[in-house]
A and B are shown apart, each in its own frame.
Chain A
Amino acid sequence: MAVRETGAVGSSPVRECRKVKRVTQAELAEAVGVSRQTIIAVERGDYSPSVYLAIRIARALERSVEELFVLEEESR
């Protein structure tokens, strides 16, 4: 099942939250234990993270998973 970013088309809540918190992709990657390329893929919507990674990202950015990720059909 596809998971897409919330908000307007082209926006990335993960990226926006990360920038608000002034965290780099590399820092976020290290905090959640993945590579920087994986964070880039998540922000672009190219990769749907597992529930565990989604929770780790949400905790690192101090947001809820639902704020950062939403099911594709719900975003329409």
Chain B
Amino acid sequence: MTQRNGVFDRLSDRVMNLDSPAYGDERERTVSMEASSFGLTIGLYAGLAGAVVSAAFGLILLPTVLLALTILPAAAAQWYARRRGVHLNALAEESGAKSTLITMVAVCALIALTFAAMTYTVFTSQPLLPLPSFTVTPGDGLLGGAAQGAVVGGIVGAVAGIIGSILSYRKAHRRK
């Protein structure tokens, strides 16, 4: 097992908070971790799909950011495992599992498609697909009203989330 005293180790311990009772008992903790992996995987594919689509519409910065945001969690997961003596890459390479091969091919294919679409844009100065133009005038028409409602609703939802979290925390402490 490798040494785990660095700043990033302490930060990861703080972020993960593995001793938190919020994880429940050992089975619930296992399911929580599996659920996190599932969510991470879905996020990875969604990010890659977003990168392909945005690159096809001629965008350069957005797919680059999406690719970076997709690679970051995967890299963080590898770093976290390596610090605890588990080498995810080596495990994947040595397992010979078909599912691993399919995952690697799918991820690399989506990255290749993203760069191919970006290459087309860079060399021809036009997008692979024409970008549909949306002109939204705030408060004007259905789309403008919906946009205003969405942004205000987002703020209200986020504030309600904060209040709900605080109330749940206080309720849990009263029960103890």
How many A-B residue contacts, CB cutoff 8 Å?
22
CB within 8 Å of B: which of A33-52? 33-35, 37-38, 41-42, 47, 49-50
With both beta carbons as reference points, the residue of chain B lying nearest to A33 in the complex is identified as B25
A35 in contact with B26 (CB, 8 Å): no
With both beta carbons as reference points, the residue of chain B lying nearest to A34 in the complex is identified as B25
Shortest B19–chain A CB gap in Å is 15
Interface size (A, Cβ < 8 Å)? 11
Check: B27 CB closer than 8 A to any chain A CB: yes
B24 in contact with A53 (CB, 8 Å): no
Shortest B22–chain A CB gap in Å is 13
CB within 8 Å of B: which of A20-76? 33-35, 37-38, 41-42, 47, 49-50, 53
A residues near B, CB below 8 A? 33-35, 37-38, 41-42, 47, 49-50, 53
**Given A34-B25, A42-B27, 9 further pairs, Cβ under 8 A:** A35-B25, A35-B27, A38-B26, A38-B28, A41-B27, A47-B30, A49-B27, A50-B26, A53-B26
B residues near A, CB below 8 A? 24-28, 30
22 CB < 8 A contacts A-B: A33-B25, A34-B25, A34-B26, A34-B27, A35-B24, A35-B25, A35-B27, A35-B28, A37-B27, A37-B28, A38-B25, A38-B26, A38-B27, A38-B28, A41-B27, A42-B27, A47-B27, A47-B30, A49-B26, A49-B27, A50-B26, A53-B26
